[in-house]
Amino acid sequence: MSRPREGGPVVLGAGGWGSALAVTLAQTHPAVTLWARREALADELRRIRLNAAYLPGVALPSQVNVTSDLAAAVAEADFAFAVVPSVGMADLLSALPTSLGLVLCAKGLAPGGQRLSELAAERGFRQVAVLSGPNHAEEVGLGLPAATVIASRDEGFAHRVQQALMTPSLRVYTSRDVAGVELGGVLKNVVAVAAGLGDGLALGDNARASVITRGLREMARYLGAQGAQADTVYGLSGLGDLVATATSRHSRNRAAGEAIARGQAPERGGQVVEGLRTARFLAEWAEQHDFDLPIVQAVAAVSEGRLSPQDALRNLMQRQPRAEG
Ligand SMILES: NC(=O)C1=CN([C@@H]2O[C@H](COP(=O)(O)OP(=O)(O)OC[C@H]3O[C@@H](n4cnc5c(N)ncnc54)[C@H](O)[C@@H]3O)[C@@H](O)[C@H]2O)C=CC1
Ligand SMILES: O=C(CO)COP(=O)(O)O
């Protein structure tokens, strides 16, 4: 059972996903704390009750208390949702007590390509879970139905988080496969960039379906190599999130691919595009381990400007003929 706390659930990071999680938690808790790194953003959220920059169109209910004081936000918490972009996760962890239970919500890797849950364990956090699934903040924030997965080796912790996050519109499953759930969310972003590249080149629906399917196969091979369970990639955090991201008008990763193919800048409105950074880490790993990740490697080469989207497509289409598998 969750230890009852005066302050209620705590969300660290006031971007789109942190805000949507705070709104979701407010459906079932009388008080939710939302921490924003910048006081200017915290002040704006308190005043207009709207995250205009990161989640426009979703009102922050009065139960959500916004602060930029990190120590105060976690002072009474037994666990917190960590929702800053992966590039900022190491700094956030350094500022938190290791007795705090952590629910890692970013879908990217730590510097050097380490999984965020490994980083947290290395830093001494004992209760660690990862949250992942087809969960566009724009839809979850509006209360549209969705499902998600919370994975932890500590089953009791996973159940506490499940209980805290479950609402009539968000169905939360648990899993013990931390690596599988975490890496599904990480890799699907790269495949979504590839799908976006295809969209930007107007390659059509068959091409997008082919990228999704071959991308899923690539994800399965990589997850297997990292010791994940074989079937996790076909769950919400793998196939589910891959379909959501590679086909959605909300996805920043898909849109980034589309923009690159059109010769435009990949980032929009300062929002995080995890897949580009992830592709570089994974392509480096593939190179070092002589491991075939053709779609990931193509996305890395295109995003670094080493290959044009058209040449990347040609290379993928002209790979050695093979059996499906
Ligand atoms: N937006 C979505 O639908 C979903 C996003 N995610 C993941 O959640 C993570 C956060 O994404 P979003 O909330 O969408 O980001 P966002 O792009 O909407 O906003 C990022 C927020 O983090 C803040 N920030 C940036 N660097 C920071 C740092 N070093 N420390 C503290 N705060 C920092 C920014 O000021 C901003 O408030 C990403 O890893 C993303 O892949 C996961 C599920 C859904
Ligand atoms: O992870 C997400 C939905 O599940 C959000 O994807 P984007 O970061 O591509 O917008």
Complex ipTM over 0.90: yes
Could you read off the pLDDT of 197-206 as tens digits, one per residue?
999 999 999 9
Q: Is the pLDDT of residue 6 over 70?
A: no
Q: How far is the CA of 239 from the centre of ligand 1 (A)?
A: 22
Q: Kindly tell me if the per-residue pLDDT of 229 is higher than 90.
A: yes
Tell me: pLDDT of 5 over 70: no
* For the CA of 14, the nearest atom of ligand 1: 37
Q: What is the CA radius of gyration of the chain?
A: 19
pLDDT at residue number 4: 39
Residue 307 and residue 82: Cα distance in Å, rounded?
A: 35
Average pLDDT over residues 229-237: 97
Residue 188 is among the residues annotated as catalytic for this protein = yes
Per residue in 157-198, pLDDT tens?
999 999 999 999 999 999 999 999 999 999 999 999 999 999
Residue 16 Cβ inside 6 Å of ligand 2? The answer reads: no
* Residue indicated by tokens 């459906």: 27
Ligand-binding site membership of 14 (annotated) = yes
Out of 84, 182, 189, give the residue to mutate to test ligand 2, the one with the largest number of ligand atoms within 8 Å of its CB: 189
Residue type at position 162: Q
Residue nearest to atom 3 of ligand 2 (CA): 136
For the chain, which residues make up each domain, given as ranges?
A: 10-182, 184-318
Give the domain 10-182 fold.
Rossmann fold (3.40.50)
pLDDT reported for residue 160: 97
- CB-based contact 289:229 (threshold 8 Å): no
* Range 184-318 has CATH code 1.10.1040.10: yes
CA end-to-end span of the chain: 44
Q: Is the pLDDT of residue 319 over 50?
A: yes
| Residues 6 or more apart whose Cβ sits within 8 Å of residue 15 | 51, 54, 55, 83, 84, 85, 137, 271, 272
Determine the average pLDDT of the residues in 262-270. Answer: 86
> From the CA of 86, how far away is ligand 1's center (Å)?
8
The pTM of the full predicted model, rounded to 2 decimals, is 0.97
Question: How many Å apart are CA 111 and CA 278, to the nearest integer?
Answer: 10
pLDDT for residue 2 is more than 60: no
